């Protein structure tokens, strides 16, 4: 039945859906605004949810291709903003989990996670959905070895090919050389390359905020070569927690030996609206800028319900790899050139809607409107009926310059297991100064695109107080919205820098540090900035101002010295960064 349903889903040689933003739009906001596909994986359990996990973005001949777990196809973009969904002419009947993709010269290669014999595909015209078999069967490896969560790598300096893989809390990340002359068959025996060591690396511990004793999982291998060094990346410790992150080991040969990078994790986002940044890949755009992708956690209908995020990344003068998740779910500019500062792409548009009063046309059960301003995708408002005219309004309490709005829909008690021509959303976004007279600023009442997290940059800022969502149509049984996120700038001052800021490394467990600070007036939140050098504060842990002014950071490496600073932010801007302090 499952394969029959999927066959029906994939009928047709080439079908596309375009996510069309305003022609003038210059910004994006995580999660990525694509038509996430409904996932039939839990069909027999009658659990409906959208799939959006384990992303790989490949720059192929100056255009971008996004591959995602169990999506029936992939996405194509020319600008990293507007994505077209492509259903190819060939696709595995069981779909692709955590696919590997690689661009070499004029050819894009594609391979699925598998424990069985499966083919590698290739295409010289992936934008047309034209896939061909490169080989018919990769040899089967021993039971439980895979290759699951594979990554393909071509070393252009040596003309050698490699595969990396692994998804387990038992086995390591494996690697093997491939033989191009034999259609990328295995050239060498596979070998274990890296394993987790949570006794030394605090961020590799399982559970929310690394507080579980379950053996952690490693997965999502990816290889990046930079300045003669090989960066073998991996995801850990588990996809269903806020601390899901990407780390790296570094070597001088594609098969190692590899050394643990002291600045790990490379990409880490445990606080804010979207949490979790693990299991992605690293790619370069057309300007030479690096990006790191990841899988933020949603978990409403299913524990592994996720979305896709991408963060500016790079290598510093010491070849230390980093990913910038500071304000990682706020609007960022799309680059038009190579940036020189890791924060160059941040727009400075602040979140205006956090914990602001909300009202609605109706409420189903206890799913009240106030949940839509709490910056938590796992809480949501549900209208009494899914019908045209239902509305939800956020009161910003005073006038602000609104510059962008993001709507985050929730598939509450959904019964959809495949996207079709009837699966789309239609609505309007309106604004008002007095809460009575509303004018339209976004009109999606006639479009037929499926957007679970639509983001709109306004053509011009609107000075206003009230923002309203007005419903027209959606296929889902319920009209449910987790968050209306409103961005722009207030008319007041940014908060002051916290006057007191302290760090105490845990004397009983060197993997932990207790961080405390004094709260400041009018702050919406704080960013704890940390890293292994006073000039390398690459990590960010965001904390809301209505939470305690103390944080136990449990992501540190035993024996490693760290440096810390703090900044406060509100609707108007960001404070100056505090003095940098050390824990040694």
**Residue of 309, 232, 239, 297 lying closest to 266 (CA atoms):** 232
Q: Which of 9-23, 114-128, 400-414, 514-528 has the lowest mean pLDDT?
A: 9-23
11 pLDDT tier (thresholds 50, 70, 90)? very low
- pLDDT at position 19: 46
Q: Which of 38-42, 100-104, 367-371, 557-561 has the lowest mean pLDDT?
A: 38-42
**Residue of 321, 245, 309 lying closest to 556 (CA atoms):** 245
16 pLDDT tier (thresholds 50, 70, 90)? very low
- pLDDT at position 458: 98
**Residue of 459, 458, 397 lying closest to 433 (CA atoms):** 397
Cβ atoms of 541 and 562 within 8 Å: the answer is no
8 pLDDT tier (thresholds 50, 70, 90)? very low
23 pLDDT tier (thresholds 50, 70, 90)? low
pLDDT at 4 over 70: no
pTM: 0.95
pLDDT at 20 over 60: no
The ranges assigned to domains in the chain are 2-16+51-348, 351-489, 501-582
What distance in Å separates the CA atoms of residue 506 and residue 581, rounded to the nearest whole number? 16
What distance in Å separates the CA atoms of residue 472 and residue 540, rounded to the nearest whole number? 39
Q: Which superfamily is assigned to 2-16+51-348 in CATH?
A: Glycosyl hydrolase domain; family 43 (2.115.10.20)
- The torsion angle over the Cα atoms of residues 521, 523, 527 and 529, rounded to 10 degrees, is -30
18 pLDDT tier (thresholds 50, 70, 90)? very low
Q: Which of 38-52, 78-92, 448-462 has the lowest mean pLDDT?
A: 38-52
Taking only the tens place, the pLDDT of each residue in 206-240 is 999 999 999 999 999 999 999 999 999 999 999 99
Taking only the tens place, the pLDDT of each residue in 86-112 is 999 999 878 999 999 999 999 999 999
Q: Which superfamily is assigned to 501-582 in CATH?
A: Immunoglobulins (2.60.40.10)
Taking only the tens place, the pLDDT of each residue in 437-495 is 999 999 999 999 999 999 999 999 999 999 999 999 999 999 999 999 999 999 999 99
- pLDDT at position 41: 83
Q: Which parts of 418-535 are beta strand (E)?
A: 425-432, 439-443, 455-474, 480-489, 501-505, 513-517, 525-531
What distance in Å separates the CA atoms of residue 500 and residue 19, rounded to the nearest whole number? 46
40 three-state secondary structure: helix
Cβ atoms of 289 and 338 within 8 Å: the answer is yes
What distance in Å separates the CA atoms of residue 97 and residue 496, rounded to the nearest whole number? 47
What distance in Å separates the CA atoms of residue 367 and residue 455, rounded to the nearest whole number? 23
Taking only the tens place, the pLDDT of each residue in 282-327 is 999 999 999 999 999 999 999 999 999 999 999 999 999 999 999 9
What is the DSSP secondary structure assignment for residue 258, as one 8-state letter?
E
- pLDDT at position 5: 35
What's the chain's average pLDDT?
94
Between 14 and 153, residue with greater pLDDT: 153
What distance in Å separates the CA atoms of residue 483 and residue 488, rounded to the nearest whole number? 16
What is the DSSP secondary structure assignment for residue 228, as one 8-state letter?
T
Query: Residue 1: exposed, middle, or buried by beta-carbon count in 10 A (0-12, 13-18, 19+)?
Result: exposed
Q: How far is CA 7 from the centre of its chain?
A: 29
Please report the sign of the dihedral spanned by the C-alpha atoms of residue 397, residue 402, residue 404, residue 405.
positive
- pLDDT at position 42: 86
8 three-state secondary structure: helix
Taking only the tens place, the pLDDT of each residue in 355-377 is 999 999 999 999 999 999 999 99
**Residue of 365, 362, 488, 474 lying closest to 416 (CA atoms):** 474
- For 508-512, which contacts have Cβ atoms below 8 Å and span 24 or more sequence positions? 510/556, 510/558, 510/559, 511/200, 511/201, 511/202, 511/205, 511/554, 511/555, 511/556, 511/557, 511/558, 512/202, 512/552, 512/553, 512/554, 512/556
**Residue of 33, 36, 75 lying closest to 404 (CA atoms):** 33
Cβ atoms of 232 and 223 within 8 Å: the answer is yes
What distance in Å separates the CA atoms of residue 368 and residue 262, rounded to the nearest whole number? 45
Strand partners, 251: 230, 258
pLDDT at 15 over 70: no
Please enumerate in sequence order all residues whose Cβ is within 8 A of that of 366, keeping only pairs 6 or more positions apart, or say none. Answer: none
pLDDT at 6 over 50: no
- For 15-18, which contacts have Cβ atoms below 8 Å and span 24 or more sequence positions? 15/85, 15/86, 15/87, 16/84, 16/85, 16/86, 16/87, 17/84, 17/85, 17/419, 17/449, 17/450, 18/82, 18/83, 18/84, 18/85, 18/449
Q: What angle do CA 207, 311, 106 make, to 5 degrees?
A: 115
CATH number of 351-489: 2.60.120.260
**Residue of 152, 100, 109 lying closest to 132 (CA atoms):** 109
Q: Which of 6-15, 168-177, 341-350, 358-367 has the lowest mean pLDDT?
A: 6-15
- pLDDT at position 40: 84
- pLDDT at position 21: 52
């Amino acid at each position: 039945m499952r394969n029959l349903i999927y066959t029906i889903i994939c009928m047709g040689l080439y079908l596309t859906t375009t996510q069309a933003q305003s022609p003038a739009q210059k910004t994006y906001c995580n999660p990525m605004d694509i038509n996430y596909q409904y996932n039939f994986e839990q069909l027999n359990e009658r659990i409906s949810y959208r799939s959006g996990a384990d992303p790989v973005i490949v720059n192929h001949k100056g255009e971008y291709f996004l591959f995602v777990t169990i999506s029936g196809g992939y996405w194509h973009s020319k600008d990293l903003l507007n994505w077209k969904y492509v259903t190819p002419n060939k696709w595995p009947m069981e779909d692709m989990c955590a696919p590997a993709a690689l661009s070499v010269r004029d050819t894009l290669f594609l391979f699925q996670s598998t424990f069985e014999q499966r083919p590698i595909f290739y295409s010289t015209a992936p934008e047309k959905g034209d896939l061909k078999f490169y080989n018919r069967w990769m040899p089967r490896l021993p039971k439980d070895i895979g290759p699951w969560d594979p990554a393909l790598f071509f070393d252009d300096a040596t003309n050698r090919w490699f595969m990396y893989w692994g998804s387990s809390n038992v086995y390591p990340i494996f690697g093997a050389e491939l033989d191009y002359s034999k259609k990328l068959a295995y050239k060498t025996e596979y070998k274990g390359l890296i394993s987790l060591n949570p006794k030394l690396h605090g961020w590799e511990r399982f559970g929310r905020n690394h507080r579980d004793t379950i053996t952690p999982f490693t997965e999502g291998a990816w290889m990046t070569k930079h300045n003669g060094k090989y960066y073998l990346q991996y995801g850990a410790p588990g996809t269903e927690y806020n601390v899901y992150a990407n780390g790296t080991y570094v070597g001088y040969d594609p098969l190692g030996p590899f050394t643990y990078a002291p600045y790990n994790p490379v990409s880490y986002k445990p606080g804010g609206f979207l949490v979790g940044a693990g299991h992605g890949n690293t790619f370069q755009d057309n300007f030479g800028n690096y990006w790191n992708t990841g899988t933020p956690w949603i978990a409403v209908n299913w524990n592994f319900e996720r979305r896709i995020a991408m963060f500016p990344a790079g290598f510093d003068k010491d070849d230390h790899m980093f990913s910038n998740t500071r304000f990682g779910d706020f609007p960022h500019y799309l680059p038009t050139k190579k940036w020189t500062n890791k924060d160059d792409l941040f727009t400075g548009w602040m979140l205006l809607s956090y914990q602001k009063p909300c009202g609605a046309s109706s409420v189903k059960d206890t799913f009240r409107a106030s949940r839509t301003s709490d910056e938590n995708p796992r809480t949501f408002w549900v209208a009494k009926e899914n019908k045209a005219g239902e509305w939800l309004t956020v009161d910003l309490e005073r006038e602000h310059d609104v510059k962008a709005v993001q709507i985050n829909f929730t598939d509450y008690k959904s019964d959809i297991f495949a996207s079709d021509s009837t699966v789309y959303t239609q609505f309007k976004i309106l604004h008002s100064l007095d809460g009575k007279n509303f004018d339209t600023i976004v009109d999606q009442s006639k479009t037929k695109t499926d957007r679970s997290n639509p983001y709109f940059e306004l053509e011009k800022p609107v000075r206003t107080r009230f923002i309203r969502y007005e419903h027209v149509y959606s296929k889902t049984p319920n009209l449910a919205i987790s968050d209306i996120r409103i961005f722009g700038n207030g008319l007041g001052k940014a908060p002051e820098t916290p006057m007191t800021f302290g760090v105490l490394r845990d004397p009983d467990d060197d993997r932990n540090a207790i961080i405390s600070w004094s709260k400041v007036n009018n702050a919406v939140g704080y960013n704890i900035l940390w890293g292994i050098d006073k000039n390398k504060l690459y990590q960010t842990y965001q904390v809301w101002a209505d939470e305690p002014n103390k944080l136990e950071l449990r992501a540190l490496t035993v024996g490693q010295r760290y440096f810390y600073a703090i900044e406060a932010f509100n609707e108007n801007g960001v404070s100056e960064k505090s003095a940098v302090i050390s824990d040694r």
